[in-house]
Amino acid sequence: MSFYTELLITVLLVIGGVFLLVGSIGLARLPDIFTRLHGPTKATTLGITGILLSSLIYQTISQGQFSVSELLITLFLLITAPVAANMIAKTALHRGNPAIPRTTGQSLMDKIRARQPADAQEED
């Protein structure tokens, strides 16, 4: 394996590790569920993407053929992480979990909480 390939793999691993560390710290330190979602969905997704891309390059070079499994895992994570975060945020919103006071758009959160489900609106 050439020096530049090893350097690229190393850089991707280090960048991925830094993003994973920042995302994990954000998950532990941020004050409420709405801000806590940014850690695992943004930083950690980028971190695992960096690690999987480095694995993709390494496996492709060591096996002599393109490694599809790492690519599919990366695509799956990039698609499902934002959807899961959206569902978690909607659940927290409808359960009435409070946001920190300095969060902007508090009135929008109150409007959404006051909305009725679609089937309840049809009965009116």
Q: Where are the domains of the chain?
A: 3-123
The domain 3-123 is placed in CATH, from the list 1.10.3470, 1.10.287, 3.20.20, 1.10.20, at 1.10.287
User: Rounded to the nearest 5°, which phi and psi values hold at 37?
Assistant: -65, -25
pLDDT in tens, the chain (124 residues): 899 999 999 999 999 999 999 999 988 888 888 888 887 788 888 999 999 999 999 999 999 898 899 999 999 998 998 898 889 888 888 888 787 777 777 777 777 777 766 665 555 5
Neighbour-count burial for 85-117, b at 16+ CB within 10 Å, e otherwise: beebeeebbeeeeebeeeeeeeeebeeeeeeee
CB-CB neighbours of 34 under 10 Å: 18
Report the C-alpha gap between 46 and 21 in whole angstroms.
11
